[in-house]
């Protein structure tokens, strides 16, 4: 097991960007519950943090190391601030391009790990759950699956808060800076439902979606609404919910469940 933290100059966001990594390159088989995951080459997952988070969240609060061991996963965890992993349209603030293009290319160049669609997933929690869906749909040629936990997918509420100064966790000025004109948000590529519909219309190969939220989480309604949208579109998805709040207890359990669901179809 190798783990560490790296910093490199990222062109897309014009700053020295940190990412933490875990590589299962010398795991003792006695630690592994299901050894079938080691009958293949390691797979990859990029894990995204939530609002106010950093690249170390999934390592210290989460179970990145354990998931790397149990599922034979190379895990990469970047920091992007409170960007919602969106592009602002200019070099220096293109966070979606950083996650979907520059980071995988840097990983390949540095570690020699092939970040191909068939072996790469993306996942995240809260803001990172939103970023997971957005990035997976923005780069369907990069990821075969995504795991979105307690996703801040309440796009209609975001648009309303930005337009009407409704009380929100995020200041209205910040919402306007990130999401732009609230009247145009729902019909833009900042709305994962809109992204999905466009991909389906184009006949694109769309990543499989694992979506989960705790029943005591304030985001449960928005996640159920997105589940209903995916169902209406005939999407390849799995929806999971159960007792839980917006916390690491839920995210750790359901990251494990998500990986088990997604990889059960891969490791046969």
Count of CA atoms in the C-beta half-sphere (13 A) of 234: 3
Task: Name the percent of the chain lying above pLDDT 70.
Answer: 96
pLDDT in tens, 2-50: 999 999 999 999 999 999 999 999 999 999 999 999 999 999 999 999 9
Structure tokens given for 59: 């390592």
By DSSP bridging, strand 43-48 and strand 237-242 are unpaired
What is the structure's pLDDT at 1? 81
Q: Which of 155, 177, 170, 134 lies closest to 48 in space, CA to CA? A: 134
Asked whether residue 126 carries a pLDDT value surpassing 60, the answer given is: yes
By DSSP bridging, strand 237-242 and strand 120-125 are unpaired
CA dist., res. 114 & res. 135, Å (int) = 19
Higher pLDDT, 226 or 264: 226
CA dist., res. 111 & res. 215, Å (int) = 40
Mean pLDDT, the chain, rounded, equals: 95
Residues 77 and 20 sit within 8 Å (Cβ to Cβ): yes
CA dist., res. 98 & res. 83, Å (int) = 11
Residue with tokens 């979105």: 148
Asked whether residue 189 carries a pLDDT value surpassing 50, the answer given is: yes
The 3-state secondary structure of 150-175 reads CCCCCHHHHHHHHHHCCCCCCCHHHH
What is the structure's pLDDT at 168? 64
DSSP H/E element including 178? helix 172-179
Structure tokens given for 183: 């009247």
- Report the CATH fold assignment for 2-264: Rossmann fold (3.40.50)
Range with lowest mean pLDDT among 39-43, 162-166, 216-220:
162-166
CA dist., res. 118 & res. 237, Å (int) = 17
């Amino acid at each position: 097991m190798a783990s560490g933290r790296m910093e490199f100059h990222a062109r897309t966001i014009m700053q020295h960007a940190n990412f933490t990594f875990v590589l299962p390159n010398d795991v003792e088989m006695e630690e592994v519950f299901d050894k079938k995951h080691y009958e293949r080459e390691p797979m990859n997952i990029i894990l995204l943090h939530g609002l106010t988070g950093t690249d170390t969240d999934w390592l210290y609060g989460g179970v990145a190391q354990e998931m790397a061991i149990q599922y034979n996963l190379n895990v990469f965890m970047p920091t992007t601030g409170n960007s919602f992993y969106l592009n602002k349209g200019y070099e220096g603030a293109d966070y979606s391009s950083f996650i979907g293009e520059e980071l995988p290319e840097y990983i390949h160049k540095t570690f020699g790990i092939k970040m191909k669609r068939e072996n790469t997933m993306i996942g995240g929690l809260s803001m990172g759950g939103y970023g997971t869906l957005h990035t997976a749909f923005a780069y369907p040629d990069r990821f075969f699956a995504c795991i979105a936990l307690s996703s801040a997918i309440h796009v209609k509420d975001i648009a309303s808060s930005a337009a009407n100064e409704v009380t929100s966790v995020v200041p209205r000025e910040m919402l306007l800076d990130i999401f732009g004109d609230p009247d145009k948000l729902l019909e833009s590529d900042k709305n994962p439902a809109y992204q999905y519909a466009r991909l389906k219309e184009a006949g694109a190969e769309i990543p499989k979606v694992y979506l989960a939220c705790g029943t005591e989480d304030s985001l449960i309604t928005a996640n159920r609404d997105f589940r209903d949208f995916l169902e209406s579109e005939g999407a390849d998805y799995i929806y999971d919910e159960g007792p839980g709040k917006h916390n690491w207890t839920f995210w750790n359990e359901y990251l494990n469940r998500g990986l088990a669901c997604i990889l059960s179809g891969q490791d046969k």
